[in-house]
Amino acid sequence: MSRERAVFGPDTLLERVARFPVPERYWVGFSGGADSTALLLALHELTARLKAPIHAVHFDHGLQAQSADWAEHCEAFCRTRDIPFLKRSLEIGQNSGSGPEERARNARYREVESILGEREIYLTAHHADDQAETLFLNLMRGSGVEGLAGIPAIRTLGGGWVARPLLDFQRDDLTGYLAETDTTWLEDPSNAETVFDRNYLRNIVFPMLEKRWPGVCSRLTRTARNARISATALAAFIERQSGDLLGDRIRMPLQKLLGFDRDMQALVLRQWLRRHEVPALPASRLDEFLAQLSLAQPDAQPEVQWADWMIKQYRHELWLHRRRPYPACTEAAWTGGMNIGLGPDTGEYRLKGAETRIPDGWKVAPRAPGGRIRTVDGGPSRKLKQFFQAASIPPWLRLGIPVLYWDDEPVALGDWVLGHRLQWWLTENDLELEWKPADSVLSRVRKECQQ
């Protein structure tokens, strides 16, 4: 027996929103199209009944010539209704090996994560038609049960959540609501371009399926709900079987993973990605990576890359993080001030204590080959490479870790290895040297090295 189709409006939307945690603030993704306009308008009508304020955020992907006009439309819509509005322009990379739709989505969610504060929710206008399209696309990719479960109603992101309160409603429900309220919206001309997979489904495939099997959207969304139940049960089983393997979002012990059979290894890795909100790894690449792991020599570094992500082996662990070359620490003379910027990932060095003149000859740069630090006056010096190896820091992260030079001699590696000359100067001036990385992986490395 099928579910009764919900009628979209503020009351039914409030019922869906009430299923989510009560946040400090709602962020509403607002493109100006029919779906997001209906969501934002209905939420605005609910302002007095919601337990948190709503803010709209518009992302300009720069992929359309008229994108500036869309941003102006969205800002005007919000201004006339006193809805706080934020616009963010995105940089869409060209060399990730993925299509423009995926690159845009990845860039958008990176920006969403930077916007979300603790216990804030980002609401998207994904609806039942989107759910059906996602299930169908995942089916064409050969996805497993998690892919057939489609778009989750809520997931964590940073310190908050991403939630989709419209999954029970179809596109016609939303446009009907806008017609009743005499509300206009924008039409993206690219929606007619069937070169994009979703548009091909929407404009060509689904109308044909609808003629043969009326209600195809409802059928597929019902399949997604059933698959979500199975996926949740499977995830719980994998969590029980894998013990503490999945808790760390950056590193995984390799030996225990390889103790499972190949199918279970694949399930564990998929659950690791799912738990930490990382896009699914294509099955063919996952199988190839597991084969490499089983045959790898102790000093090998097998890796797999997809979307914006990578998993790479170093020694007896797997490392999971964003797929992008880590920029080297900025090289700069430290001539004054109590802090110095080190680049977008490396962050900054700063001195904690009273304002003090910086000695002549200070410079910050990445590790140079052959560099050595003497930590004890009169004692032996050690290569920087040895400190990296002792701390199990992978080679691909090392150029992002700052080295402080004094008269061209290394006197600090990060802020956990200090040369005797620097130690003496800091003590004499009652100061501490602190490195504050901007990147989460480098922050993790620093924290572990200080323990």
360-414 pLDDT, tens digit each: 999 999 998 889 999 998 889 999 999 999 999 999 999 999 999 999 999 999 9
3-state secondary structure of 280: coil
Cα separation, 245 vs 254, whole angstroms: 9
* pLDDT tens-digit series, residues 43-52: 999 999 999 9
* pLDDT tens-digit series, residues 416-449: 999 999 999 999 999 999 999 988 899 999 999 9
Whether 98 shows a pLDDT value over 70: the answer reads: no
For residues 6 and 9, the model is more confident at 9
Backbone angles phi, psi at 299, to 5 degrees: -95, 5
* pLDDT tens-digit series, residues 332-366: 999 999 999 999 889 999 999 999 999 999 999 99
Cα separation, 54 vs 223, whole angstroms: 32
Whether 63 shows a pLDDT value over 70: the answer reads: no
pLDDT of residue 100: 63
Whether 1 shows a pLDDT value over 50: the answer reads: no
Side chain identity at residue 53, one-letter code: P
Q: Summarize the confidence of residues 20-48 as an average pLDDT.
A: 96
N-terminal to C-terminal alpha carbon distance within the chain = 59
pLDDT of residue 442: 93
DSSP states along 284-336 = HHHHHHHHHHHH--TT---EEEETTEEEEEETTEEEEEESSPPPPPPPEE--S
Q: Summarize the confidence of residues 97-125 as an average pLDDT.
A: 82
Cα separation, 276 vs 121, whole angstroms: 17
Taking a C-beta distance cutoff of 8 angstroms, is the pair 442, 347 a contact?
Answer: yes
Q: Summarize the confidence of residues 308-330 as an average pLDDT.
A: 87
Query: Can you list the alpha helix ranges (DSSP code H) found in 80-215?
Result: 100-115, 128-140, 145-148, 171-180, 197-200, 206-212
For 356-391, letters b (16+ CB in 10 Å) and e give eeeeeebbbbbbeeebebbbeeeeeeeebeebbeeb
pLDDT of residue 264: 94
Please tell me the least confidently modeled range out of 21-25, 191-195, 419-423: 191-195
Residue of 178, 163, 202 lying closest to 8 (CA atoms): 178
Whether 2 shows a pLDDT value over 50: the answer reads: no
For residues 382 and 63, the model is more confident at 382
Question: What rounded mean pLDDT belongs to the chain?
Answer: 90
* pLDDT tens-digit series, residues 159-175: 899 999 999 999 999 99
Please tell me the least confidently modeled range out of 71-85, 92-106, 220-234, 310-324: 92-106
What is the token pair recorded at 442? 């480098």
DSSP states along 376-440 = STTS--EEHHHHHHHTT--GGGGGGS-EEEETTEEEEETTTEE-HHHHHHHHHTT-EEEEE-SSH
pLDDT of residue 92: 66
Q: Summarize the confidence of residues 114-135 as an average pLDDT.
A: 93
Q: What H or E segment, with its residue span, contains residue 162?
A: strand 160-163
pLDDT of residue 97: 52
Write down the pTM of the prediction: 0.74
Q: Summarize the confidence of residues 24-47 as an average pLDDT.
A: 96
What is the token pair recorded at 398? 């090392």
Taking a C-beta distance cutoff of 8 angstroms, is the pair 346, 400 a contact?
Answer: yes
